[in-house]
Structure 1
Amino acid sequence: MEPTTDRLKTPRAAGLAGIAFALLLATAIVLMRIAVPSGDAADAPIAPDRRWAVRVALEIVPFAGIFFLWFMGALRAHTGEAEDRFIATVFLGSGFVFVAALFASAAAAGTVLEEGTPSDFGRHFAYTLLATYAMRMASVFVLATSTIGRLLGVFPRPLALLGTVVGLVLLVVGSGIPWSELLFPAWALIISVHILRARRAAGAGPGVARPGPSRPS
C-alpha cells in the first residue's frame, strides 16, 4: 500500500524542475560572471552599467535553488528505493551544501550594489564561493548521482560516464577555467531531459519502477 501511495505523491512535472533549474542557474552564472569577473579584473570597481546584472542574478538565484530541490526529488524518484545509503547521503549532503553556497555567493555579490562602500571583499568572496566551494559541491553531487545511476542501471552508460567526466572536471580544474561553471547546469539539463523521456516511455511511475501488486480495495 505505501509504495503505491508514495508514487502517487511524486508529481510528473518534477522532471521539468531540472530544466528550469538548469536554465535559471546558467543565466545567473553568466550574469554574475559579467558583473563579478575573476582574476585581475576583480580588482577593478564594478561599472555602473554592470550593476543591473547583479540585481537580475540576485532575483534569479532563489528560484534556481528552489527548482534544484525539486530536481533532487525528481532524481531520487527516478532511482527508486534501491539506492545505496552511503552514496545517497553524499548525494543529499552535497546538494544541500551547494544550495547554501549558491545563496551565500549571491548574497556576497549583492554587497557590490551598495553605493559608497568598498566592494573588493564582496567581489572576491562571491567569486570564491561560486567558482570554488559551490562548484566543488556540485561536482560531488554529479559524481554521486552518476554513481547511483550506474549502479542501479537507471542511467545509460554514456550518460553515467558523462556525469563522471563533468564531476571530475568541476572538482579538479573547474575554478581555474573561466565559465566552466556552466558544465553543471548543462549536465542537469541533459539529465532532466533523460528523466522526462524515460517517464514518457514507461508511461507512469518514475525510475526503476517494478510491476507492483494491484491496488487493494
Structure 2
Amino acid sequence: MRRRYERLATPRAAGVAGVAFALLTAAAIVLMRIALPGGADGGDATVGAAQRGAVRTALELLPFAGIAFLWFMGALRAQAGEGEDRFVATVFLGSGLVFVATLFAAGAAAGSVFADGQQGSSFGRHLAYTLLTTYAMRMAAVFVLTASTIGRRLGVLPRPLVVLGYLTGLTLLVAGANVPWSELVLPAWALVLGVHILRGRRPAPA
C-alpha cells in the first residue's frame, strides 16, 4: 500500500514542483531584468532604490526556486525509473545540478549591486548578467534537451511536449544574451510540463 502511494504521489510532486519552480524563477528573472535593464553593458549608472528593492526580492526568491527545481528534477528522474539510459541520465542530473549552482552564483553576484559606489554596482551587474544569461541558461538548455530525450525514449511525454522541449532547449542554447528576456522560456516550459503532469496525462510505464 505504501509503495502504491509513493507511485501516485511522485508524479504529483513533480507537477507541483515544476509549477512552483516556474513561478518563482519567472518572478526572479523579471525582477533581475528590471533591476539590470542594460544587461552587461548597462554602464556605470548608479543603482536606484527601486532597483535595489527588485534585486533584494529576486534574491529572496532564488533559494526557493532552486529547491523547487531540485525536487522537480528528482521527481522527473524517479518517473524514468530503471528504464533510463545511464549516459543521458548522467547528463540530465549533472546539467541540473550545475544549473542550480550557477543560478545561485548569479544571485550572489547580483547582490553586489547593493555596494556603495558606481564601480561596485557595475561589476555586480556585469557578473550577474553573464552568469545568468551565458552559463545558467546554457546548462538549463542541456537539462531541457536531455529531459525531453528521456521522455521521448520512454514514451512518457507526448510528442507536442517533446517538440516544445527541444525548441526551448535550442532557444536557451543559441539565444543567450543576444535575445532579451529569452530566459523566460525556461519557466514557461517547466510550467507547461508541471501542468501536464498534474492533469494526469501519463501513459502506463513501459
Same fold (TM over 0.5): yes
Map of 1:215 onto structure 2: none
Structure 1's unaligned 5+ residue stretches are 211-217
Give 1:49-64 correspondences, 5 Å limit. Answer: 49-64=50-65
Question: What is the DSSP-based 3-state SS (H/G/I as helix, E as strand, rest coil) of the residue aligned with 2:83?
Answer: coil
Write 1 or 2 for the structure with the bigger share of helix: 2
Structure 1 residue 50 displacement after superposition: 1.3
Distance 2:191 2:172 in 1: 16
1:136 and 2:138 correspond: yes
Map of 1:154 onto structure 2: 156
Over residues 70-103 of structure 1, what are the superposed CA-to-partner deviations in whole Å (9 max), with x where a residue is unaligned?
A: 1112211333321111000000000000000000
With normalisation by structure 2, the TM-score equals: 0.90
Contact 1:16 1:196 in 2 (8 A): yes
What count of residue pairs does the alignment treat as equivalent? 204
Question: What is the DSSP-based 3-state SS (H/G/I as helix, E as strand, rest coil) of the residue aligned with 2:157?
Answer: coil
| Percent of pairs with identical residues | 66
Distance 1:54 1:180 in 2: 19
Over residues 161-208 of structure 1, what are the superposed CA-to-partner deviations in whole Å (9 max), with x where a residue is unaligned?
A: 11101101110123210000000000000111111122xx56xxxx75
What amino acid does structure 2 have at the position aligned with 1:12? R
Structure 2's unaligned 5+ residue stretches are none
Distance 1:97 1:39 in 2: 22
1:145 and 2:147 correspond: yes
CA-based RMSD: 2.3
Q: 1:78 to 1:197 in 2, by over 3 A?
A: farther
Deviating 4+ runs (over 4 angstroms): 1-6
Contact 1:42 1:123 in 2 (8 A): no
The one of 168, 171, 175 aligned to 2:170:
168
Greater C-alpha Rg = 1
Map of 2:112 onto structure 1: 111
Distance 1:87 1:63 in 2: 27
With normalisation by structure 1, the TM-score equals: 0.86
